[in-house]
A and B are shown apart, each in its own frame.
Chain A
């Protein structure tokens, strides 16, 4: 924690004037902060309003982290103005105060929370018990459900999580972390009677979570909506069979649910747009939520997918199978001038040639053994690859045999196996002599 010494701070406050419109801008305020340790952003804003600019608009009520009214983006991170102290922010940088993301801005730091509560409502945030009990329920603190739900019921609906979640921007129907956290507290409660409906209502939203933990990082109550979303996903996995059927589903805690006499289930794969709150967006002039249009796009996307899969698959298949089907003609590779090969001796010469297979190009460097006798027609060109496991065979002039060092294979001067594991004689190359140069045929 920084020192409590006097600091002079620059505060940049986002300003938006609804009578003028436009994009909004930052206004710069400077002030002395006598006690950075105990001065909150809310104190700063109140001081700005009283001492420098009475027109700055912001929202607050309880001042003690209980009501969730003063959520805003402080130095690029969502938080409650009444919970963030000046000493929490680096002293060498300006403080920026900005309204929450993903909500229409009414004025300056005040946002319209209607979309938040619309989505909250769509997630069925109310308790509807399956049986009406005359006595209050007694829940032992160490009960499994109580532990699972934990502090998730402490949410104060400040909107920080929704503002921090980058996915809210990309998925109109996404219920957002707060609503899903609320749904989780009820889905994990065995007293709750309408969980089948609730799970269907929030399920599609759960798959919009990308596990970024932004909501968990910023939550002023230190809750983890990510944990709640993961819980709902696992719950859905557990009830996969029931979810794919249009009829009723058992309760989250595996107890048989009483017959649910409510609205018939909507198809599971219905777009979240209508389940969880984007109907307002569509009605407000967004994209029309037309099933035939959606179906068309789905078909186009599947068509493109199928075409690319076919293309790539065909290419790979051709590349993999093609070379074995085509008979490649042999190529003649020059080895050495005949004059360089000593008569009545075995010479080992390295040959070099390029092999192209598809995109792949390779230079083969391989020794060949030329067993030259007095008569040119009686010459043999041996492949040095051992017929056992492919090691390189060499000529042992002392013993007059070809030897493979790997497993002790031995071949006589004609290439016949005389010892060791090789199953057949040494392979030979076809050869010819052109203009006094020895050439062998490789495939």
Chain B
């Protein structure tokens, strides 16, 4: 007589689930996406602080930095969406835009503020 066995599929593993090495292997494009989301939330938070605590240099500097960081990451997506930069340069693009962001923060903070 055949032995009856109940077989169950394990529900699909999710990204990073039970994976000790996942974080080290997260590619830079994904970090760019994650940090753009985080900076978006930070902007909302810092805007609130900016309105309640006026003329606090620390708040203003953080707001400026986060806004520019968010903007350059947005620029990355726009450039890639419209094929203005070839996708094969996507990693260099992130590095280049990060440098651009730092330069912009420096110029705005020292020159204009």
Contacts and interface: CB of A to CB of B under 8 A. Distances in A.
Contact of A103 (B12, B17, B19): B12
B52 to A, nearest CB: 6
B56 interface: no
The number of chain A residues touching the other chain, given as a range, is 35 or more
B110 interface: no
B28 to A, nearest CB: 8
Interface stretch (B1-9, B64-72, B97-105): B1-9
A164 B13 CA distance: 11
Given A101-B14, A230-B81, A213 B8 contact: no
Contact of B87 (A100, A212, A230): A230
Nearest to B90: A213
Contacts of B18: 14, 23-24, 26, 98
B6 A76 contact: no
Interface string B12-28: 11111111111111110
A102 B14 CA distance: 6
B14 A212 contact: no
B13 A98 contact: yes
A230 B27 contact: no
B112 interface: no
A24 B14 CA distance: 13
B7 A19 contact: yes
B54 A77 contact: no
Interface in B69-113: 76-77, 80-83, 87-88, 90
A224 B24 CA distance: 22
A211 B77 CA distance: 7
Contact of B25 (A77, A101, A166, A211): A77
B87 A102 contact: no
B25 A75 contact: yes
Contacts of A104: 9-12
A362 B53 CA distance: 11
B20 A96 contact: yes
Given A23-B18, A105-B13, A212-B27, A234 B83 contact: yes
Given A76-B23, A106-B9, A214 B29 contact: yes
A71 to B, nearest CB: 13
Contact of A93 (B9, B10, B21): B21
Contacts of A7: none
Most buried by A among B8, B22, B76: B8
A14 B20 CA distance: 11
B33 A105 contact: no
Contacts of B6: 19
B12 A234 contact: no
Contacts of A164: 15
A230 B77 CA distance: 10
10 contacts: A23-B18, A24-B18, A76-B25, A96-B19, A99-B13, A102-B12, A102-B13, A103-B12, A216-B87, A230-B83
Given A105-B13, A106-B9, 20 more contacts: A18-B9, A19-B5, A24-B18, A76-B20, A76-B23, A76-B24, A96-B19, A101-B17, A104-B10, A105-B10, A164-B15, A169-B14, A212-B27, A212-B32, A213-B30, A214-B29, A216-B87, A226-B87, A230-B80, A359-B52
